[in-house]
Chain A
Amino acid sequence: MITFEDVVKVYPGGATAVDHLSLELPTGKITVLVGPSGCGKTTSLRMINRMVDPTSGRILIDGRDVTQQDAAQLRRGIGYVIQHAGLFPHRTVLDNVATVPVLLGKTRREARTAALGLLERVGLTADFAKRYPAQLGGGQQQRVGVARALAADPPIMLMDEPFSAVDPVVRAQLHAEFLRLQQDLGKTIAMVTHDIDEAIKLGDHVAVLRTGGRLAQFATPRELLAAPADDFVASFVGRDRGLRSLSFDSAAELPVRPVDGIELDDAGRPVGLPGVFTKDDSLRVVTDLVISSPGGVAVRVGPDGAADGLVSHHDLADYLASRRS
């Protein structure tokens, strides 16, 4: 657990970057710090690994004050991913990934062997090992950046706008892989972004900061959408909060009616309908299907792809209304 205790950071010159921040980032979860520029989110992140030291207040990792620890030693135990990856241009991809294990005293050979496994883990083939960063695309560089941060298997990862330098298609891909990776690894992750949608998508918890470095709200994404603390948070979270909050609700409980009036093939799979959903999908997916399908009906399918239920406009509206009461 990472704990901010009444942390203040005033830069020389008098600008207050972080103003009495108290926060707990739970172990094994993704906590996203989000806010407009000048809200102190990056400064807060960088105080965790002592790239910046607080003016007052304390930051504790599992109860130990970070400023009582040797900065370099502390940082080797914390993964660090930054925007544009910040890879070492003069080192191969493999040696970039091997950096921290080598700092920790592993031989170059051991570190390289382990690094190869990590490349695979972040979705890069062994062909990339001998390349240099300049030969990679933005998304690939970012993957190497993540592999490099994971190399010493640190319990904590700090990620400063890790996905903002890549195009939206690659970003969505990286998001999905990142969440899958986190499911396996269960790291304690602190991430900074200015993109509220990214925060809601990736965070287990979201800390919304306002300009001047004050915490506006700390909540789960779902709470943030359902009950923004004030006008600032509401406007920052943006439009379509209701629809977006449906992403967090499973379609598993949604009642369905018997399959009737749609064309099925021999195996019972619907024919000619582009959109089907499963019990694992969210209510947002179902809502979208119901709205966009020509007949106003979404088809639910089982694991084998066979249709096992229908949902109409009315069914969905009734269900959503019943949830409110």
Chain B
Amino acid sequence: MNFSYLTDPAHWDPSNPGSIPNLILSHLGYTALALLIGAVIALPVGLYIGHTGKGSFIAINAGNAGRSLPTLGLLMLMVTLLGLGLLPVLIALTVLVIPPILTSAYAGMRNLDHRVVDAARGMGMRPWQVLTRVELPMALPIMLSGFRNAALQVVATATVAAAVGLGGLGRLLIDGLAVNDYSRVLAGAIVVAALAVLVDLFLALIQRLIVSPGLKGS
């Protein structure tokens, strides 16, 4: 084991564009963009399907199909179709995050206690109020667990961006392998793993803050 790449201060100098901090930033950038786009697409669809019960097969099958798609293969296909650039990477990563977000939004809505929803309607909440004041807060723990799942996957997988010439922590892996610099590969693997743990801890903290204490342990 050779940690020399990881421990070399020059590799942590932010003024150097290829340094680890800059790679982390671009890595987080891809991750956040993919999660954002994925959530914008998958949340409304998952919530709608869960709320109405219409098209449950979409939620279940999309989940399974999405999980079995190899991201690297999809990325290469997109590059062939669209050329190099950020877009194919974002498409590949978004396809990765949609299934867990969609299925957990669906599951969160399906598992609501219908008596509570009935009470909310019976007290005079309008459909939008029932959704935002009762259903969403109650579904939040399950939805967030799906989101955390998606975040973990995309942090680990965003390394593929480097395979098509973009940045991110994948650079350390790809470039390291290309020049047989295993110290650099090891550094990349360690930083990606650490980043995944940190992102998950951060989201866990958010979850603590926004999920009602009344829903803990349920």
Contact = CB atoms under 8 A, between A and B. Distances in A.
Interface of A: 49, 51, 72-77, 80, 82-92, 99-100, 103, 132-134, 148-149, 158
A49 B214 contact: no
Contact of A86 (B118, B126, B212, B218): B118
B115 A84 contact: yes
B210 to A, nearest CB: 11
Contact of B125 (A49, A91, A103): A103
20 contacts: A72-B124, A72-B125, A72-B126, A75-B123, A76-B123, A77-B124, A80-B119, A80-B122, A83-B115, A86-B113, A86-B115, A86-B116, A88-B116, A88-B119, A88-B138, A89-B138, A89-B215, A91-B214, A100-B124, A132-B212
B122 A133 contact: no
B124 A76 contact: yes
Contact of B123 (A90, A99, A132): A99
B218 A89 contact: yes
A132 B121 contact: no
Given A82-B118, A86-B115, A86-B118, A73 B124 contact: yes
Given A75-B122, A87-B119, A134-B214, 19 more contacts: A51-B118, A72-B124, A76-B123, A76-B124, A80-B119, A82-B118, A83-B115, A85-B119, A89-B113, A89-B214, A89-B215, A90-B137, A90-B211, A90-B215, A92-B214, A103-B124, A133-B214, A148-B123, A149-B123
Contact of A82 (B119, B138, B140): B119
Nearest to A104: B124
B120 interface: yes
Contacts of A74: 124
A83 to B, nearest CB: 8
Contacts of B119: 80, 82, 85-88
Contacts of A49: 122
B138 A90 contact: yes
A215 B120 CA distance: 30
B170 to A, nearest CB: 40
A103 B129 contact: yes
B218 A134 contact: yes
Chain B interface extent, by class: 20 to 34
Main secondary structure of the interface of B (DSSP, over half): helix
Interface of B: 113, 115-116, 118-126, 129, 134, 137-138, 140, 211-215, 217-218
Contacts of A158: 122
Contact of B124 (A75, A89, A90, A92): A75
A103 B214 CA distance: 21
B14 to A, nearest CB: 42
Which of B116, B137, B211, B218 has the most chain A CB atoms closer than 10 A to its own CB? B116
Which has the most chain A C-beta neighbours within 10 Å: B113, B138, B211, B214?
B214
Contacts of B140: 90
B129 A90 contact: no
Contact of A51 (B121, B211, B212, B218): B121
A86 B214 CA distance: 14
A89 to B, nearest CB: 5
Contact of A80 (B123, B134, B214, B217): B123
Given A75-B123, A133-B214, A88 B115 contact: no
Contacts of A77: 124
Contacts of A51: 118, 121-122
B136 to A, nearest CB: 10
A216 to B, nearest CB: 27
Among A85, A90, A92, A100, the one with the most B-chain Cβ atoms within 10 Å of its Cβ is A90
Contacts of A75: 121-124
Nearest to B212: A90
A74 B212 CA distance: 30
Contacts of A72: 124-126
Contact of A88 (B121, B122, B134): B134
Contacts of B116: 86-89
A84 B118 CA distance: 12
A62 B23 CA distance: 71
Contacts of A73: 124
B214 A132 contact: yes
A82 B117 CA distance: 11
Nearest to B117: A86
A85 B123 CA distance: 12
Contacts of B215: 89-90
Nearest to A51: B122
